[in-house]
Chains A and B, each alone.
Chain A
Amino acid sequence: MKKVIYLDNAATTKTAPEVVDAMLPYFTELYGNASTIYELGGSSKKAMNEVRETIADILGAQENEIYFTAGGSESDNWALKATAEAYRAKGNHIITSKIEHHAILHTCEYLEKNGFEITYVDVDENGKIKLSELKKAIRPTTILISVMFANNEIGTIQPIKEIGEIAHENGILFHTDAVQAFGQLPINVDEYHIDMLSASGHKLNGPKGIGFLYIRKGVKIRSFIHGGAQERKRRAGTENIPGIVGLGVAARRAAETMKERTAKEIALRDHLIDRVMKEIPYTRLNGDRIDRLPNNANFSFQFIEGESMLIMLDMEGICGSSGSACTSGSLDPSHVLLAIGLPHEIAHGSLRLTLSEETTLEDIDFVVDTIKNIVERLRSMSPLYEDFVKKQAVK
């Protein structure tokens, strides 16, 4: 098999070997149900509670504020729907941003059909939420502000502390989708006034199908899955112990290596951005140049289309992603790229590359060289580029 350069770590990550090693005994030997009284079940419960402590420690939270879920989308759905239900007597208004993940946006659309009013606050050209608009959107009936910690497509990190303060000062709950940020950025729920936080295991070298929702003590939030008494009666279902154990190892590992790992990723990411911007004309960097996830680069190459680029990259063993319509299954390109003001045709030519701790300088140089050739080839095939060149010649 040819060498694969995996630069789609915002989609999912490779499960770390020590994560898999830690999980295996919970399939084969320590398979007990954590709700039972015998020792076999007790070992499952003990392992689970240790993970709760680990995650609480990382966030500066209490262990009884961590609720395991099946992943980021479930956590987002739970946070929004259950808050809406529990606080309906207080109001029916929720504020979010235009660049949230679909797990938030589609849940908001569902709530709108059920009598809730949602304000989708604009972002600036770098993808940062407009705080003045956020403040203006607040009403007496506002019960929740939900803004993602960092964007999955363009990597922009939001001013979470400021948003948390605004929510706190106005007595409004604050939820953040931290699926991309948890494990990549230091997060303290008290410092940022976060009342709820969603995270997922498979974005930080943990297993798929496991995540958690942090819910601050005192927040009234209803059960999402009804049934047994698991997760303090708020999320029924026999716990996914292997997944939880894997999440714990992955979270601890991510927290312990964060400083060193992200410093290395930032250096490589900046090398990637610098070379692409310098060597490929008519290219735009999407997302904030400074406040961006350590491993994220997102470009728009004018006059070409993203899916073609991805197929050609794949032929060279490079895995990336695009916000073009063809990759979204609809006719519209990414809502995030449109929200930062890109015209459709430029949004179609976007490429997201997300690095991992395994990415090397050689990988990046090979990737840039390959992108250069692909962009040149696709432009030579593009009627948009032909028109542009002819127009330049007339000038």
Chain B
Amino acid sequence: MYSEKVMDHFQHPRNMGEIENASGVGTVGNAKCGDIMRMYLDIDENGIIQDVKFKTFGCGAAVATSSMATELVKGKNIQEALQVTNKAVMEALDGLPPVKVHCSLLAEEAIHAALWDYAEKHGIKIEGLQKPKSDIHEGEEEEEEAY
């Protein structure tokens, strides 16, 4: 059901993990629907994305799109990172099954959410960046309870 590239990124995710004191962190998705992506960006003073990490709760496609998205933005400047669309992520993965297209949208949103967080923390405005609508970092945390 998945392309070889999707399977490769699922089995060997690139840039998986956390960045301590990241310049920007964005979490998108919804545990109810079964996908949550979190992106960490380390952006230097010239606006270059020096490092990027992700964590994802979700299916094979969710992991693979997160992984591919990190590869596509690493080393890029902010404006270039904003141009990484869900289409670009899908194409880079040689396509996704139709029911998994929303995973690539989530990957795009996760990057935007992390950039938004970066902009807010640094008191700047990024041209062309909208406030991400599905950032769930606040509020839903309370629902998680372990047995």
- Report which A residues bind B (CB closer than 8 A): 281-284, 302-305, 307-308, 311, 315, 324-326, 329, 331, 333, 343-345, 348, 381-388, 391
Indicate whether B144 reaches chain A with its CB closer than 8 angstroms.
Answer: yes
CB distance from B34 to the nearest CB of A (A): 4
* A303 B57 Cβ-Cβ under 8 A: yes
Indicate whether B55 reaches chain A with its CB closer than 8 angstroms.
Answer: yes
* B55 A383 Cβ-Cβ under 8 A: yes
- Report which B residues bind A (CB closer than 8 A): 7, 10-11, 13, 16, 18, 27, 31-38, 55-60, 62-63, 99, 141, 143-144, 146-147
Count contacts between A and B, CB distance < 8 Å: 83
CB distance from A110 to the nearest CB of B (A): 25
**Do A344 and B34 contact each other (CB < 8 Å), given the known contacts A381-B56, A387-B141?**
yes
* A385 CB contacts on chain B under 8 angstroms: 57
What is the CA–CA distance of A381 and B66 in the complex, to the nearest angstrom? 11
CB distance from A147 to the nearest CB of B (A): 29
* A381 CB contacts on chain B under 8 angstroms: 13, 16, 55-57, 63
* A305 B57 Cβ-Cβ under 8 A: yes
6 tightest A-B CB contacts, nearest first: A345-B31, A307-B59, A326-B59, A383-B38, A344-B32, A348-B34
* A388 B146 Cβ-Cβ under 8 A: yes
* B99 A329 Cβ-Cβ under 8 A: yes
What is the CA–CA distance of A315 and B99 in the complex, to the nearest angstrom? 22
CB distance from A90 to the nearest CB of B (A): 42
Could you say which of B34, B35, B62 has the most chain A C-beta atoms within 10 Å of its C-beta?
B34
What is the CA–CA distance of A345 and B7 in the complex, to the nearest angstrom? 24
* B18 A308 Cβ-Cβ under 8 A: no
**Do A333 and B36 contact each other (CB < 8 Å), given the known contacts A302-B146, A381-B13, A382-B55?**
no
